């Protein structure tokens, strides 16, 4: 009888080692230059987009809550690289990066942040709530962990309809302590639903570290009692993420049920724009940026191992900056929604 793979933590390959950037850079990467350039471009787009969003928030152009993804870019870019266009994606309120990685337009995302009619939700959702049926992005959701049963439902519907699409439910280490996550795990395992649970362990649930909030801090093990295999992955290494995602996709699409990928990652900014993040030291953040940055790692690899030139990378930088700058301009010039917009899309029946 085939056994389900057990939770494993392959520290040598996937979990953060002290100088992971250097150790990866020391061997020849198993990736083409074109592919890595594309991953670089996607991560850089998220980074620059988020930096611009942070800047615009500071200028008062973006209101409400705004949760930046800076530092975590390798996670969503690596996972999305392993999916097909029909696969469904759902995530929390830290969702800008996921939308860009799903191929949603930066103009529409930024205009939603500024609350304009040209935003993905016509100004009705804001930073935390956007959606694209066309890109199979099923929303940013504002209640910690609530997207996990929904993502399980997306998987249920795909199985029910007989499609071979799967669902990826992203959530954080904070969500991992919400009860409904475990109800969903049980159902997904019981019914062998095609869902990958990606736990983005960025080390802090709002302002409380994983060590202070989790009795079992190895979150990849959280599915063990349901027989859900889990893998811990270096979420700062886009190639490690992509490789782990490819394995998970093969497992899940093969009808074996759900799988958990715990991404060990790090957010450079506070929980939201209103969080000065005083619960950790500047040194901790600076060290992470200096030694583990996911974009810098790929940049070094491109230059040192894949013969990319500074000019090629600069061209990508310019291209990305132009996209973000266009988005910022669009987001400031798109009209505000008319007050009458409030009365639409509530009920079909009334």
Partner 1 sequence: MAEMTYAAAGAAALSETMEADRTVWALGEDLGRGGVFGQYAGLEARFGAERIVSTPISEAAIMGVGVGAAMTGTRPVVEMRFADFALCATDELINQAAKARFMFGGQTRVPLTVRMPVGMWRSSAAQHSQSLEALYTHIPGLVVMMPATPADNHAMLKAAILSDDPVVYLEHKNLWPLSGEVPDDAAPYRIGTAGVARQGSDLTIVTWSATLHDILAAAGRAAQAGVADIEVLDLRTLWPWDKACVLQSVRRTGRLLIAHEAVVVGGFGAEVAATVAEELHSDLKAPVRRIGAPKLPIGYAPTLENEIRLGPDRLDAAIARMMS
Q: 279: exposed, middle or buried (C-beta count within 10 Å: 0-12, 13-18, 19+)? A: middle
| Candidate list 6, 11, 160, 281; residue touching partner 1; CB under 8 A | 160
- Please report whether residue 183 would count as binding partner 1 according to CB under 8 A: yes
Question: Which segments within 74-185 are labelled E, that is strand?
Answer: 88-91, 137-140, 167-172
Please answer whether residues 223 and 230 qualify as being in contact, where contact means their C-beta atoms are separated by less than 8 angstroms: yes
Q: Give the other-Cβ count within 10 Å of 283's Cβ.
A: 8
Work out which of 84, 190, 318, 325 binds partner 1, going by CB under 8 A: 190
Tokens for 147?
A: 């997207």
Tokens coding 318: 């310019």
Give yes or no for residue 135 binding partner 1 (CB under 8 A): no
Residue 152 engages partner 1 in binding (rule: CB under 8 A): yes
Q: How far apart are CA 290 and CA 175, in angstroms?
A: 28
Rounded to the nearest 5 percent, the helix, strand and coil shares of the chain are 50, 10, 40
Select 2 or 339, whichever has its Cβ closest to partner 1.
Answer: 339
Contact between 99 and partner 1 by CB under 8 A: the answer reads: no
- Judged by CB under 8 A, which stretch of 31-39, 156-164, 245-253, 326-334 contacts partner 1? 156-164
Interface with partner 1 (CB under 8 A), residue from 124, 253, 256, 289:
124
* Residue number, 182 or 279, with CB nearest to partner 1: 182
In the block, which residue shows the tokens 């500074």?
310
Q: Give the contact letters, 297-336, x = binds to partner 1 (CB under 8 A), - = no.
A: ----------------------------------------
If you count them, how many residues does the chain have?
A: 350
Q: What's the Rg (C-alpha) of the chain?
A: 20
Count, residues near partner 1 per rule CB under 8 A? 48
Minimum distance from residue 336 beta carbon to partner 1 (Å): 14
Query: Residue 156 or residue 266: which is nearer to partner 1 going by CB?
Result: 156
Cα separation of 125 and 130, whole Å?
6
Contact between 85 and partner 1 per CB under 8 A: no
* Residue 211 is a binding residue for partner 1 (CB under 8 A): no
Under a CB-based contact definition with an 8 Å cutoff, are residues 38 and 238 in contact? no
From the list 14-22, 93-101, 139-147, 314-322, the region that binds partner 1 by CB under 8 A is: 139-147
Q: Helices 33-58 and 310-333 meet at what angle, rounded to 10? A: 40
- Choose, by CB under 8 A, the member of 83, 109, 130, 302 that binds partner 1: 130
Q: Contact residues for partner 1 (CB under 8 A)?
A: 88, 90, 119-125, 129-133, 138-139, 141-143, 146, 148-158, 160-161, 167, 179-180, 183-184, 186-187, 190, 344-350
């Amino acid at each position: 009888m085939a056994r389900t793979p057990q939770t494993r933590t392959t520290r040598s390959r996937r979990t953060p080692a002290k100088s992971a950037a250097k150790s990866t850079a020391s061997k020849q990467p198993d990736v083409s230059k074109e592919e890595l350039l594309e991953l670089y471009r996607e991560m850089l787009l998220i980074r620059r987009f988020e930096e611009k969003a942070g800047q615009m928030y500071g200028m008062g152009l973006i209101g409400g809550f705004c949760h930046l993804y800076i530092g975590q870019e390798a996670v969503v870019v690596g996972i999305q690289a392993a999916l097909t266009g029909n696969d469904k994606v759902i995530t929390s309120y830290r969702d800008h990066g996921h939308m860009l990685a799903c191929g949603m337009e930066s103009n529409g995302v930024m205009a939603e942040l500024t609350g304009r009619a040209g935003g993905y939700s016509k100004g009705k959702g804001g930073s935390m709530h956007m959606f694209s049926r066309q890109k199979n992005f099923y929303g940013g959701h504002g209640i910690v962990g609530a997207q996990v049963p929904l993502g399980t439902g997306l998987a249920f519907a795909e199985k029910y309809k007989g499609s071979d699409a799967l669902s990826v439910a992203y959530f954080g280490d904070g969500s991992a302590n919400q009860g409904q996550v475990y109800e969903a795990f049980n159902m997904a395992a019981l019914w062998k639903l095609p869902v990958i649970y990606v736990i983005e362990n960025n080390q802090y649930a709002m302002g409380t570290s994983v060590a202070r909030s989790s009795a079992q801090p190895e979150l990849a093990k959280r599915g063990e009692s349901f027989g859900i295999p889990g893998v811990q992955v270096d979420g700062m290494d886009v190639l490690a993420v992509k490789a782990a995602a490819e394995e998970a996709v093969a497992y899940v699409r093969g009808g074996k049920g759900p799988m958990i990928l715990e991404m060990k990652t790090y957010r450079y900014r506070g929980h939201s724009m209103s969080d000065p993040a005083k619960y950790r030291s500047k040194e901790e953040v600076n060290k992470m940026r200096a030694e583990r940055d996911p974009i810098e790692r790929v940049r070094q690899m491109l230059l040192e191992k894949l013969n990319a030139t500074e000019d090629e990378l600069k061209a990508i930088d310019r291209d990305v900056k132009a996209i973000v700058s266009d988005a910022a301009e669009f987001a400031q010039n798109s009209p505000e929604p008319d007050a009458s917009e409030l009365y639409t899309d509530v009920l079909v029946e009334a």
